[in-house]
Amino acid sequence: MTIIREGDKIEGGHYFYQRYLVDIPITGTVEDGSRVTLREPGGGTFHLHFVGNGSEGNEPLDFENSIGMEGTWSSADGSRSYPVTLHGTVIRDGEGGRRYGDVTTEDDARFERHVQTFFRAVLNGDKATAVASISYPLDVSFPNGKSRKYENAAQVLAGWNDLFTPAMMALLRQDLPHDMFVHDGMAMLGNGEAWFDARGLAALNVPAASRLSSSSGQGGAN
């Protein structure tokens, strides 16, 4: 979930439906300084409160001193209700107010569609689409400390099983190709297993099998 705010005023935002890779827009209000209500167009509503870690002392919790929010989401008719936990982080916008302005001249949605095309292709075993979504040469780091540049699609296809190992696939299934962290002109997927530049997948960090037991998905509110 991304919340766009000015102080304690919520200007808008969205939350991401992972299964379908789509955004659901939200509007919201802060009441009594600590209760947050977020609404989606279909009538679903988040009722949330700020969560602290004790460092706030006796100060009331808000966006600045909390570590996240907790509460529930309820459907418009009240027939469904789910618990919600959000861990907060601040993600700055890129150049010109665009998240990926430091990566590409394309708008954010179009850039993310390119990443999502690669993401879906790998998970679905569509190798032809996946290798067409790579920025060559592809830099790959392996868990044994070795690295290699893959110069073209043929080399990637020949080494596919070395790149997209069971450990890598397990992490990719948890990753969210959306609202990604940007550093040094590239966007990061997950916890750094994949990095994308303006032309596609630019770097891959193949995880050790031991990461399967300790990995977790992404989340955060901005």
Rounded Cα gap, residues 118 and 186, in angstroms: 15
DSSP secondary structure, 145-199, as one string:
S-EEEE-SHHHHHHTHHHHS-HHHHHHHHH---SS-EEETTEEEETTTTEEEETT
Going from N- to C-terminal start, the domains of the chain cover 2-87, 95-213
With a cut of 70, which residues of the chain have pLDDT below it?
A: 89-97, 210-222
Question: pTM score, two decimals?
Answer: 0.64
Correct CATH for 95-213 of 3.10.450, 3.40.1350, 3.30.420, 1.10.10:
3.10.450
User: Which pLDDT score, from 0 to 100, does residue 9 have?
Assistant: 86
Rounded Cα gap, residues 221 and 132, in angstroms: 33
User: Which pLDDT score, from 0 to 100, does residue 211 have?
Assistant: 52
User: Which pLDDT score, from 0 to 100, does residue 216 have?
Assistant: 44
Residues 132-172: pLDDT tens digits?
A: 999 999 999 999 999 999 999 999 999 999 999 999 999 99
User: Which pLDDT score, from 0 to 100, does residue 215 have?
Assistant: 47
